[in-house]
Amino acid sequence: MPRGDGMGPPRETGARSGRLGGMRPGSGPGGNCICPNCNTVVSHERGVPCYNLNCPKCGAKMIKE
């Protein structure tokens, strides 16, 4: 605190807090996995990355929604 007023340096505009950057796709345990080919949606299981799942319809790798 340069002036001792407790304010500190100003934050950048649009700065995000948190390890994964807040509300970016793929962050956090919730959400769904979606197939980029056929748009099939499967609920995301905690501890299992979407990219490790294959689509039940077409077999493509899933991505986090």
Q: Domain ranges in the chain?
A: 31-65
Taking residue 49's Cβ as centre, other Cβ atoms within 10 Å add up to 13
**What's this model's pTM, rounded to 2 decimal places?**
0.56
pLDDT digits (tens, 9 = 90+) for 4-29: 676 766 666 555 444 444 555 555 67
Residue 21's φ and ψ, nearest 5 degrees, are 90, 25
pLDDT band at 65 (very low <50, low <70, confident <90, very high): confident
Dump strand ranges (E) for 13-65.
32-34, 41-43, 63-64
Residue 5 has a pLDDT of: 73
Query: HSE-up of 58 (CA within 13 Å, CB side)?
Result: 11
Least confident of 16-20, 26-30, 39-43, 47-51: 16-20
